[in-house]
Structure 1
Amino acid sequence: MMKYTNNKKSAASLLRQGGAGITLIMVVFLSGCSRVGPDYVRPSLELPGQWNNSIRKNTQDEQRLAGWWQVFDDPLLSSLIEEAAADNLDVREALSRVRTARLQKAGRESSLYPSVDGNASAGWSERRGGEGASSDSESYNAGFDAGWEVDIFGGVRRSVQASQRELEAQVEDLHDVVVSLLAEVAINYIDLRTYQRRLVLAESSVALQQETWELLDALFTVGNGDALALAQARYNLENSKARLPGLEIGLEASMNRLAVLTGKPAGDLHYLLNVPGALPEPSLQIAVGVPAEILRQRPDIRRSERELAAQTARIGVAEADLYPRFFLRGSIGLESISLEKLVTSPARLWSLGPSISWPIFDAGAIRSNIKIQGELQQQAYLRYEHTVLTALEEVENALISYVKEQQRLENLRNGAAAAEQAADLAENQYLSGMTGFNNVLDAQRSLLSFEDQMAESRGAVLADLVRIYKSMGGGWQKLRPAVSMN
């Protein structure tokens, strides 16, 4: 009889243990069978088949786009761009955001696995009787607690998916920072060389006008001059001198900006950039490809698309709150009245079993949150579409500016040639007494104006070329900082 009774207790114990095992197997199996929320589908937009202001119709040269600054064939510009990509503070901040997103993703992924906590405690107590009798006692215990949320409906996995998409969006944000940075470095470098050229022209004009004024002043001093011509020469000279400070301010600002873009204090690159240099002369031919290619190249579009994917996953996270959450919890420990015998004590404690949590009444808060996440997804899609349209606009504007500025430059060249001829004729006629000095001044002013505008236009053409490469999303492919997606 006793033997039968012992067997019955043993069977009951096995049944309890077997039930826990069966429960574990069932929840693990079910955890791979369902996933709440919609699956993400990359949006498809109808884009034009070609640009309105295409320069060339052929396929885009992706290698040239990736290292577009090399077409300028300027070693100093290439050095500044590479230095900026490595040391610029905006790039370093964007890298930090990527690392933060990666750590957040790792934190979300930890929810997929069991957690284990260790614990230990000790206690001492003393009891005194009414006649002075006393008794002391001690207790010690140590153990581990484990818990695991079994992701039956996929809410945790959607959360991890959202964090992965957020990380990818931050990586594209870093690439976008690089694209903007490289273009800004190149444009400021072109501004620097443009200001240097305009200063040379302005200073040459001042020197020539100074000689003219000194000659007229000497003639007037000996009584063989023209007071009106002398006054006109003087105000023309002072007007030309007045242009110099503005050009010097622009030159200084360009050098300071380049220093900051490369991660240095303003003024640190003056020793290098103060040396005059010519404007780069790249080939002005460029293949821009078709509009659909910007979806693949531009980091801001890629970032916006990843943000849309992340928000789609968050709908699943919100929907998971409608369903019960399943947990497996267990603990194991030791207990003893003596610290020395804690490990060898026969007292063992353990527990294992599933638990469930299910919101029964929330006054519609969960369903409201699901609707909110759906609206946020719609907003993310609209931002994506807006980003694409803005990118198309930026390319079109850069293309038309590039084409029209080249036309303007050609007109200025023709005007400068005519102004130079007019200046020579006016000077010869004045010396022969056929015309007044006022015509000489007008011709000189016109020549200076055309030369200055021509130098400025040459810089504008190059800057527009940079803007085309930027609008096409060039640069990050070659100089993107090393980041990990894991």
Structure 2
Amino acid sequence: MNRASAAAIALLLGGCAVGPNYHAPPAGALGVPAGYAEPVTAAPRTAATIGRPDPAPSDLAAWWRTFDDPLLTDLVARATVGNLQIAQSAARLVQAREALVQAGADRFPTLSGSAGASHNVTRGGGSSIVVGGGNGSPGTVVTTGGSSGTTQLSLGLDASWQADIFGGVRRGIEAARADEAAAGFDLEAVRTAIAGEVATNYIDARLAQTRLRIALTTLRTQDDNLQIAGWRVQAGLVSALDVEQARGQRAQTAASIPAIETSYAQAVARLGILVGQAPGALRGEMEASRPIPRGPDGIAVGIPAETLRRRPDVRRAERQLAAATARIGVAQAALYPALSIGGNLNTSAASIGSLGSLLTGSLFAGLAHTIFDGGRRRSQVRSARAGADIALAGYRQTVLTGLEDVENAMQALAAAKARQVQLAIALDASNNAALYARSQYRSGLIDFLTLLQSEQALLSARDQLAAAQADQALSLVQLYLALGGGWQSDTNYRAGTPG
């Protein structure tokens, strides 16, 4: 056999895969900038952060540990195991892996076997006699004679195989492999989202506890003010207006408590669902009041291209684009002739021991090609190309949305930190003003309205500072998620690397 004949046979049996070969779009083609508009770097050490570990890229894999809250860490671990959304995503990954196995099976021949047995009976020769009868009654005619029979056993084996001349099967496997990787990244994206939701609701619960403590502390102060106002009215120093103002102020503070308790209960109920339990399962564990978690003052965000490699949703979108591109080749391969090769092998005998003594077989090949289908197959190619365009636009949208998430989280974190600085000053000033106002009211130097305004300012300053602390923690959670936190970028999926 000469070299040309060998090449022709290789082309016939191995074929060449039609359709475009996939290449991940470079970062520049996706509109990824060289750097972020507002980079955030690690903040200098302060007295409050001494003893905390320096944030490092490895912290992204288990970013919730940087909040130094054992219960938060435990809840995230339990959610990773018990969350039902994660369970659904894991099952979808299993489906995608089985789809890859099914696609790969098309590369191999299909074998089927059959077995049969038959028994033929032959009757012949004999005589007839009359049984019974008499007294005018007819008798029964019975025929007697001999019979003989033969048994025939058979075995068969059929094989068929369709040659992947134009690579339709290979493109199908390529698409299934990309789908499997996309399902894996989807699982990681769900895991990171659930970890973020656990942290968010945990912070909300601790904020509610903090606000409840502030409200109860304020109520005790307002009870004292109401008592003092009552004494002063009894002494004839002030009018009953002071008492009514004190009562109204206390009632407004008390009215805020049910709403705070509702916020706390909703956050705890959501945490129960996130870990795969009943809504009230975590009430006992969360009952002990703890401060709002505080993470590191700053984290190194790196460059946008690194962020995209770390985010599982971006990697999922890239794999979906690869799958859509491969399906163009699947559709194009259907435009060309299909070569099928088949054969069978049969044997038959009168006994089991004689099976195989006589074998018959056949081998055949067929070439099929659709001449006219009303444009269906070419329409399928155009549809597959449109699907790839959709996947590309979705990939670019996911990339840009990821960059937006990082920018927004950095801005929110910076704003929350700036607000805390000013609100801390406001709280200190409001606390001093309230102390002076109480002292002066007891001495009769100011009216109750001035004291009332001072107390309201103090309550507002405490509440706003607590909210700003929670906002900083929540912004930090969002930044970790935006950077792809909670997922190791070296996860063993069959995936390309974008950019």
Asked if 2 retains the 8 angstrom alpha-carbon contact of 1:140 and 1:342, the reply is no
2:172 paired with 1:172: no
Partner amino acid, structure 1, of 2:247: R
Structure with the higher fraction of residues in helix conformation: 1
Question: Residue 289 of structure 1 aligns with which residue?
Answer: 302
Residues 69, 163 of structure 1: CA spacing in aligned structure 2 closer, same or farther, 3 A cutoff? same
How far 1:268 sits from its partner (Å)?
Answer: 1.0
In the TM superposition, 1:427-438 aligns within 5 A as 427-438=438-449
Residue equivalent to 2:51: none
Q: Once the 2 structures are TM-superposed, how far is the Cα of residue 194 of structure 1 from its aligned partner?
A: 1.1
In the alignment, which residue of structure 2 is the partner of 1:146? 159
Is contact 2:272–2:281 with CA below 8 Å preserved after alignment?
yes
1:371 aligns with 2:382: yes
Cα deviations by residue, 1:128-160 (Å, 9 ceiling, x for unpaired): 799999875543321111111111111111111
1:123, CA displacement in angstroms? Answer: 3.2
Which stretch shifts more, 382-391 or 273-282? 273-282
Q: Could you list the per-position Cα deviations for residues 170-189 of structure 1 after superposition, in whole angstroms to 9, with x for gaps in the alignment?
A: 00101111111111111111
Q: 2:211 aligns with which of 198, 203, 223?
A: 198
For 1:148-297, what aligned pairs fall within 5 Å after superposition? 148-220=161-233, 226-297=239-310
Determine the structure 2 residue equivalent to 1:9: none
Residue ranges of structure 1 left out of the alignment (5+ in a row): 1-22
2: distance between equivalents of 1:213 and 1:40? 76
1:448 paired residue among 455, 459, 478 = 459
Q: Is contact 2:123-2:148 (8 Å) kept?
A: yes
Give the distance between the partners of 2:463 and 2:283, measured in 1 at CA. 24
Q: CA deviation at 1:409?
A: 1.6
Aligned partner of residue 67 in structure 1, secondary structure: helix
In structure 1, what is the Cα distance between the partners aligned to 2:380 and 2:62? 46
Give distance in 2, aligned partners of 1:130 and 1:358: 60
Does the CA-based 8 Å contact 2:228-2:442 persist in structure 1? no
Segments of 5+ residues of structure 2 without an aligned counterpart are 44-54, 127-142
Tell me if structure 1 keeps the 8 A contact 2:158–2:342: yes
The equivalent position to 1:35 in structure 2, one of 10, 17, 24, is 17
* CA deviation string 1:211-262 (max 9, x = no partner): 2213333554576663111111111111110111111111111111111111
8 Å CA contact 1:37–1:316 kept in 2: the answer is yes
Could you tell me how far apart the structure 2 residues matched to 1:40 and 1:376 are?
14
Paired residues for 1:31-430 under 5 Å? 31-44=13-26, 45-56=30-41, 61-125=56-120, 138-220=151-233, 226-336=239-349, 338-340=350-352, 343=355, 346-430=357-441
C-alpha separation between the residues in 2 aligned to 1:460 and 1:426?
Answer: 31
CA distance in 2, matches of 1:402, 1:223: 53
C-alpha distance in 2 between matches for 1:307 and 1:160: 14
Q: Which moved more, 1:398-407 or 1:121-130?
A: 121-130
Q: TM-score, normalised by structure 2?
A: 0.86
Q: TM-score, structure 1 length as denominator?
A: 0.88
Indicate the larger mover: 224-233 or 290-299.
224-233
Report deviation, 1:467. 0.4
- Aligned counterparts of 2:123 and 2:377: Cα–Cα separation in 1: 57
Query: For residue 18 of structure 1, what is the aligned residue in structure 2?
Result: none
Counterpart AA for 1:157: R
Q: Could you tell me how far 1:304 is from its partner in structure 2? A: 0.5
* In 2, Cα distance between equivalents of 1:30 and 1:236: 90
Deviates more, 1:129-138 or 1:373-382: 129-138
In 2, Cα distance between equivalents of 1:223 and 1:193: 45
Whichever residue aligns with residue 61 of structure 2, its letter is: A
CA contact (8 A) 2:181 2:494 kept: no
Alignment partners' CA distance in 2, 1:141 and 1:160: 38
Q: Distance in 2 between matches of 1:422 and 1:266?
A: 43
Deviations 1:16-55 (A, max 9, x none): xxxxxxx999756633341111100111223212111212
Provide the rounded CA distance (Å) in 1 between the counterparts of 2:9 and 2:202. 63
Percent sequence identity is: 34
The secondary structure found in structure 2 opposite 1:266 is coil
Between 25-34 and 183-192, report the one with greater CA deviation: 25-34
2:136 aligns with none
Instruction: Report deviation, 1:292.
Output: 1.3
| 3-state DSSP of counterpart to 1:144 | strand
Q: Is the 8 A contact 1:217 1:225 kept in 2?
A: no
CA distance in 2, matches of 1:366, 1:195: 61
Count the aligned residue pairs: 460
Summarize deviations over 1:253-285 as a string: whole Å, max 9, x none.
Answer: 111111111111111111111111122233212
The match for 2:481 is: 470
Q: How many Å apart are 1:458 and its aligned residue?
A: 0.3
